[in-house]
Chain A
């Protein structure tokens, strides 16, 4: 079974703090993704990566950065957390783009910024 794990299920941070969200997958997938999920807006893509040290901006990258130093690990960084970044964050991984296959999701991290 594919497993995607995220470092925390719940996280509470203060405005201005630097926040790291970690994601690890165990299926040797090339592609990894970070989404945020907000009521009424669905899942929106923040950043994605299709190889180690590669990163691409998604639809809402402002206020975020990412790091992919190893194939199995994809980190999302909030440089200076703000209250409008309170959300559910979901990580996903998938096979490379030349193959059909679904994205596998982690359990999510519910981040609250106060």
Chain B
């Protein structure tokens, strides 16, 4: 059974701190790994990772994939209260010719001022 596990499930830090969110997976037919941010509405796309060791960066957020050890991390530096959200990790797999996402439980991040 395909499985994606995120840790920690919940994290509370102060504004300005740096955080690292973890995502490990065990799947067959891996195609890509995606990170989403979800506030009180639809998840919004952050990154798609397909190759090991290549960092993707967007402002204060960055992410990297390790396909040998089967995990990814999402880093947020100089956190702001607007970073408070649930961060979702999903692995795209190919099953019987169709692609689908397998999601982790999510990490609820709270940034206190």
Query: A residues within 8 Å of B by Cβ?
Result: 4, 31, 33, 35, 40-45, 48, 50, 56, 58, 90, 94, 97, 100-108
- The listed residue with most A CB atoms (<10 A of its CB), out of B34, B43, B105, is B43
Q: Which residues of A contact B99 (CB under 8 A)?
A: 31, 94, 97
Residues of chain A contacted by B36 (CB below 8 angstroms): 105
Would A48 and B42 count as touching, CB distance under 8 A? no
Other 16 A-B pairs with CB < 8 A, given A40-B9, A44-B103, A45-B101: A41-B105, A42-B4, A43-B90, A45-B100, A56-B98, A90-B43, A97-B97, A100-B32, A100-B48, A102-B34, A103-B34, A105-B43, A106-B42, A107-B41, A108-B41, A108-B42
For the complex, would chain B's binding face be called helix, strand, loop or mixed by DSSP majority? Answer: strand
Q: Which of A4, A43, A50, A102 contacts B98 (CB 8 A)?
A: A50
> Which residues on the B side are within 8 Å of A100 (C-beta)?
31-32, 48, 50
Q: Which B residues lie within 8 Å of A102 (CB)? A: 34, 45, 48
Give B contacts to A, CB under 8 Å.
4, 9, 31-32, 34, 36, 41-45, 48, 50, 88, 90, 94, 96-106
In the complex, how many angstroms separate the beta carbon of A46 from the nearest chain B beta carbon? 11
In whole angstroms, how far apart are the Cα atoms of A31 and B98 in the complex?
A: 9
